[in-house]
Structure 1
């Protein structure tokens, strides 16, 4: 049985791969600049209420840099907005 791969699936894979390579290259350049200036430690990007939570996702979605949206978790897509601990926090890390 011969299976054919959807051409759109293959194209999407290559776009995602190219986007990741571009992101990784930018992160490497920023790390080099930080180390040259003396800033070796980077601030964590994870919101304070989400640190150590098993539900944390933390992946940005979108194709253009200006229109990317960070998905924090399934319960609170933009992060826990209130002060204090998140009521859905579950340890896992």
Structure 2
């Protein structure tokens, strides 16, 4: 068996590496712009009532972006609308 990598695998590796470098550069540029405009802190995606809760799940399920739905927690799948969740439990 030939130990050399097939050329298509090498090309695939180089393309994935270039994509990652471009993504990383874009993230760095966005962070620089945020800090220049005074937005150094990224706003958390966790709902305010769920911050610090042990029941928080926060994973989106679904195969396509259009059909993907987040599961916030087991008690309140779409998140709690009020300010104080009755099922809030502190992280241990």
CA RMSD of aligned residues (A): 2.2
CA contact (8 A) 2:48 2:83 kept: no
Q: TM-score, normalised by structure 2?
A: 0.62
Find runs of 4+ consecutive structure 1 residues off by over 2 angstroms: 27-33, 38-41
Unaligned stretches of 5+ in structure 1?
1-24
Q: How many residues are matched?
A: 67
Distance 1:92 1:84, change over 3 A: same
User: Structure 1 residues 35 and 84, CA, compared in 2 at 3 Å: closer, same or farther?
Assistant: closer
TM-score, normalization by structure 1: 0.61
**Equivalent-residue separation in structure 2 for 1:86 and 1:30 (angstroms):** 37
Alpha-carbon distance in 1 for matches of 2:73, 2:55: 6
Query: Which of 1 and 2 has greater Rg?
Result: 2
Q: Does the aligned pair in 2 maintain the 1:34–1:40 contact within 8 Å?
A: no
Q: Which residue of 2 aligns with 1:57?
A: 57
**Greater strand proportion:** 2
> Which segments of 5 or more consecutive residues in structure 2 lack a partner in the other structure?
1-19
